[in-house]
Amino acid sequence: MAKIVPFRAVRPAKDKVSLVTARSYDEYSAAELASQLDYNPFSFLHVLNPLYINLQKSSFEKRFRLVQAKYAEFKEEKILKKEDKPVFYLYEIKSRNRTFTGLIAATSIEDYRNNIIKKHEDTLQYRVELFKDYLHQTGFNTEPVLITYPENAAMAKWKELKKQKRPLYHFTSLNRDTHTLWRIKNEGEIAWLQEQFDKMGSLYIADGHHRSASANMLYEEDKATGNVNLNYFMSFLISEADLKIYEYNRIIHDLNGMSKEQFLAALDNDFTVENKGQQLWKPEQKFQFGMYLDGDFYALELRDKYFSSVQEALDAQLLYDKVLHPLLGIGDLRNDERIEYIPGNKPVTAIKEAVDSGEFEVGFTLYPASIKEIKELADNDLIMPPKSTYIEPKFRSGLVVYEI
């Protein structure tokens, strides 16, 4: 039984919402970030990165204090305002190719601790502690955990009916995505939504394992204060059918001392290897891998497809077990400087360009993991290798803020 609750969100003034909201901070190049900070005084990036020119020279504690001060300034200037009462939101993101619709709500730390909200990724302790300190110092979070649930007919019908109502916000961002937000403040409607989630056996974290772990750590440290907001963390709940799962592709700086011919011969032990020449080939099904090496694309298909667990059968795990570790000497997927990652929403030409530049020797493309694999891993307390999935939608910073 999953528990969701409404909360008194902080959000932009209606006339400034398109100016305030921003993509996730780390999605901006240095030039884009400078442009936003120089020419848009309302951007939430000013909150996330105050005094941006000298910020990298400051301690984390000083940075977090500056973030909190800038956030308070945005509220004082009425750029941001707080809801009068606890609410839910229905949020739609419409891009050229897809439409995502989900519910913004607060989800339960108790459910997280009791594995009703299930995980499939490992976390890095230093990142969990750092974001916990950020939450403690700033007192807010604007990046919800992306959680998925099994779609049901009642919820699907409700979403379609709700989208016929007048929205709170409707705007287009600079990347030409259209964003629409409906506020849900009717007590009967809120209770009905809570009932729908109460019937669900489990929820699954799609993206945001570090954020949820940080919220749990903050709760453990500060629960004695009696702050009820610590009992929950903000989530964007989206049905499995609406989720888009991409792979993370790999590019490697060298062949670990092997020649091209030696490497291809070694691959032949576990894969059928077909030279595709200049065809921009990507895997078409599970157990297939694409490779770009020395100006040619290759199709690799695993020979032995029998495994004892879903974890062993993950394509990202197989590439590590059969190629990256034994042949290329990649041990630590998170920290080895010889490997880098390109999300699957980028074209395959991005891998070609990286290898053709001479900086990298070989690139691999993978077939995306399925929601079935993710859920089976989570149900069995198993984890994926680092950088296995790139999942959309991505939430805009500053659209909805959860205060702690």
Name the pLDDT band for 129 (thresholds 50, 70, 90). very high
Token couple for 12: 């932009």
Number of neighbours of residue 326 by Cβ within 10 angstroms: 14
The angle that helices 125-138 and 209-222 make with each other, rounded to 10 degrees, is 60
Do 290 and 197 fall into the same domain? no
Q: How far does Cα 306 stand from its chain's mean position?
A: 31
Whether 65 maps to a domain, the answer reads no
The total number of structural domains in the chain stands at: 2
Do 263 and 383 fall into the same domain? yes
> Per-residue pLDDT for 53 more than 70?
no
Residue 51's pLDDT is 67
CA distance 140 to 67: 10
Q: What is the CATH number of the domain that holds 269?
A: 3.30.1760.10
Whether 38 maps to a domain, the answer reads no
Whether 362 maps to a domain, the answer reads yes
295: exposed, middle or buried (Cβ count in 10 Å: 0-12, 13-18, 19+): exposed
pLDDT in tens, 73-97: 999 999 999 999 999 999 999 998 8
Do 106 and 226 fall into the same domain? yes
pLDDT in tens, 354-377: 999 999 999 999 999 999 999 999
Name the pLDDT band for 27 (thresholds 50, 70, 90). confident
Do 363 and 349 fall into the same domain? yes
Q: Considering only CA atoms, which of 400, 337, 339, 397 is closest in space to residue 364?
A: 339
Name the pLDDT band for 58 (thresholds 50, 70, 90). confident
Which domain does 84 fall in, by range? Answer: 4-13+80-244+392-403
CA distance 2 to 110: 10
Do 240 and 255 fall into the same domain? no
pLDDT in tens, 309-349: 999 999 999 999 999 999 999 999 988 999 999 999 999 99
pLDDT in tens, 149-165: 998 899 999 999 999 99
CA distance 378 to 40: 42
DSSP 3-state assignment of 171?
Answer: strand
Whether 19 maps to a domain, the answer reads no
**Helical H runs in 163-281?**
187-198, 209-222, 260-267
Do 164 and 263 fall into the same domain? no
Do 234 and 312 fall into the same domain? no
Whether 29 maps to a domain, the answer reads no
This prediction's pTM: 0.93
Residue 151's pLDDT is 83
Whether 147 maps to a domain, the answer reads yes
Do 225 and 374 fall into the same domain? no
Name the pLDDT band for 50 (thresholds 50, 70, 90). confident
Do 188 and 254 fall into the same domain? no
| DSSP letter string, 298-359 | EEEEES----SSTTTT-HHHHHIIIIITTTT----TTT-TTEEEEETTS-THHHHHHHHTTS
CA distance 333 to 341: 10
Name the pLDDT band for 55 (thresholds 50, 70, 90). low
Do 274 and 384 fall into the same domain? yes
Do 100 and 234 fall into the same domain? yes
pLDDT in tens, 198-253: 999 899 999 999 999 999 999 999 999 999 999 999 999 999 999 999 999 999 99
Whether 87 maps to a domain, the answer reads yes
Residue 56's pLDDT is 59
Whether 250 maps to a domain, the answer reads yes
Q: Looking at the DSSP assignment, which residues form a beta bridge with residue 145?
A: 235
Do 177 and 291 fall into the same domain? no
Q: What is the CATH number of the domain that holds 133?
A: 3.90.1530.10
pLDDT, averaged across the chain: 94
In this predicted structure, which of 43-57, 91-105, 361-375 has the lowest mean pLDDT? Answer: 43-57
Residue 323's pLDDT is 98
